[in-house]
């Protein structure tokens, strides 16, 4: 059987990662793209999301889809920049938690000696591997996948895959924490922190306050928003300080304006800071 015939189709929470790829593929086609992700389209197509479906007729659903796509584009660029800054500071270990169809190992330039770990469950990593084979993709760094559920003992699996907690790491949790209940988020943060040597860095995206009510409450069954369960704490900077991190928080709108992509309509709700987090371990 060919890769295509054997490929497991997206389902449950990991299907959301293929939806993210669809958004990145659309962004990559723009002349003024904030990043280019040449593999995104192949991931979306393999998951049946390309060509991209037309926007929903329902105005509220259309607005929600636009808002989610916008946030994915801005956060991708934010974390690309954060990773470049981490490399410039000398960090050579990268861990993508809930990596999904993240193709940064293939689309970014990495300093020599960079080791990048992609952590997710087995099904999305298998799906991804089959698309990468089909596309003959070649990583620009030493890339290792770690198939483990992040609610289990993932630090042990990561260490077994070669991660060195004595050397600084840059951690990315992009579009992940919103799918984990608060106690699992807390445990994840505590575990990241014990694996982080001084000089480590972290980039997080957090569900803004009120997002569950505005999006998840009337989300279509099986949609990404229907699986959202957690929002950011009241004061994310203070929360991270408690875990030993010096953090800064940014809003989507502020970052979007900085990237020359301000949204044309004013936000329909007050956007509190804290959706996008950068942090350094002292």
Nearest residue (CB) to ligand SAM, 20 versus 87: 20
SS3 201: strand
Residue 151 touches ligand SAM, criterion: CB under 6 A? yes
Stretch that binds ligand SAM, among 58-66, 147-155, 194-202, 241-249 (CB under 6 A): 147-155
Q: Which of 47, 168, 175, 207 lies at the binding interface for ligand SAM (CB under 6 A)?
A: 175
Q: Which of 100, 273, 274, 275 lies at the binding interface for ligand SAM (CB under 6 A)?
A: 100
Which distant-in-sequence residues (6+ apart) come within 8 Å of 55 by Cβ? 62, 65, 66
Contact flags string 204-243 toward ligand SAM, x per CB under 6 A: ----------------------------------------
Q: DSSP states of 108-129 as a string?
A: S---TT-EEEEEE-HHHHHHHH
Q: What are the φ/ψ torsions at residue 19 (nearest 5 degrees)?
A: -60, -40
Q: If you count them, how many residues does the chain have? A: 282
- Cross-strand pairs, 203: 172, 278
Angstrom distance (rounded) from CA 281 to CA 201: 6
Q: Which two tokens stand for residue 41?
A: 């389209």
Stretch that binds ligand SAM, among 37-45, 82-90, 116-124, 258-266 (CB under 6 A): 116-124
Which distant-in-sequence residues (6+ apart) come within 8 Å of 132 by Cβ? 39, 106
The minimum distance between CB 29 and ligand SAM, in angstroms, equals 17
Residue 26 touches ligand SAM, criterion: CB under 6 A? no
Q: Which of 3, 7, 13, 237 lies at the binding interface for ligand SAM (CB under 6 A)?
A: 13
Q: Which two tokens stand for residue 181?
A: 């209940």
Residues engaged in binding ligand SAM (CB under 6 A): 13-14, 16-17, 20, 98-102, 120-121, 124, 149-151, 174-176, 179
């Amino acid at each position: 059987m060919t890769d295509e015939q054997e490929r497991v189709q997206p389902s449950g929470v990991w299907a959301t990662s293929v939806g993210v790829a669809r958004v990145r593929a659309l962004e990559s086609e723009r002349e003024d793209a904030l990043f280019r992700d040449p593999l995104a389209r192949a991931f979306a197509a393999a998951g049946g999301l390309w060509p991209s479906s037309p926007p929903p007729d329902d105005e509220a659903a259309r607005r929600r889809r636009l808002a989610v796509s916008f946030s994915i584009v801005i956060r991708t660029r934010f974390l690309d920049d954060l990773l470049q800054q981490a490399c410039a500071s000398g960090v050579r270990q990268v861990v993508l938690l809930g990596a999904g169809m993240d193709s940064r190992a293939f689309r970014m330039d990495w300093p020599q000696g960079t080791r990048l770990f992609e952590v997710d469950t087995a099904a999305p990593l298998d799906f991804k591997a089959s698309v990468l084979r089909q596309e003959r993709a070649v990583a620009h760094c030493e890339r290792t996948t770690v198939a483990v559920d992040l609610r289990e003992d993932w630090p042990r699996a990561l260490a077994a895959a070669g991660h060195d907690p004595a050397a600084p790491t840059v951690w990315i949790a992009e579009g992940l924490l919103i799918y984990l209940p608060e106690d699992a988020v807390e445990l994840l943060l505590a575990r990241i922190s014990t694996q982080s040597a001084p000089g480590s860095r972290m980039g997080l995206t957090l569900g803004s306050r009120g997002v569950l009510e505005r999006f998840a409450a009337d989300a279509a069954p099986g949609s990404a928003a229907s699986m959202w369960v957690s929002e950011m704490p009241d004061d994310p900077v203070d929360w991270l300080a408690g875990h030993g991190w010096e953090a800064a928080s940014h809003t989507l709108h502020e970052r979007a304006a900085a990237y020359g992509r301000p949204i044309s309509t004013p936000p329909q709700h007050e956007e509190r800071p804290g959706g996008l987090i950068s942090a350094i371990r002292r």
